[in-house]
Amino acid sequence: MQHWLLDAGRRDWPSASCVAALGPRQCEHLAAVVAELGMTWSVELHDEAPGDATIIILPEDIDDPCELTLFVHGVGPSFHLDELCGDTFRKLGEHRAWSDVLRAVRIRLLGMMPVPPTLH
């Protein structure tokens, strides 16, 4: 099976025989998204089993009240974004382009940020 690392600038779709692979470069991309938002979250690549890597995004503070953990993993030619919030696991989306994963993670993390108070 051919491995294909999806690039943020690439817009064409992989063929069905391609695999959405995750590695250090994709972990760096996600860490940049987290840093851009000014969040102190950890972005970790877990790739103990060959071809079965997962990137985990979680608060560095284990006592963080949001209790949110995001998971990015490849299944066939697409990337899946899932979350664990407290005891609830849910699938957030399936993306064939890496740029769509970055956008989805950014949107989800923005939704977790506190809203600044309105001054009158």
Q: What is the CATH number of domain 22-111?
A: 3.30.70
CA 23 to chain centre: 12
**Do the Cβ atoms of 73 and 54 come closer than 8 Å?**
yes
For the question of whether the overall pTM of this predicted structure is more than 0.85, the answer is no
At residue 16, the pLDDT reads 47
- Lowest-pLDDT range of 56-60, 66-70, 104-108: 66-70
Residues 69-107 have pLDDT tens digits of 999 999 889 999 999 988 899 999 999 999 999 999 999
Q: What is the pLDDT of residue 18?
A: 57
Q: Are 70 and 56 in contact (CB under 8 A)?
A: yes
Confidence check: pLDDT of 11 > 60: no
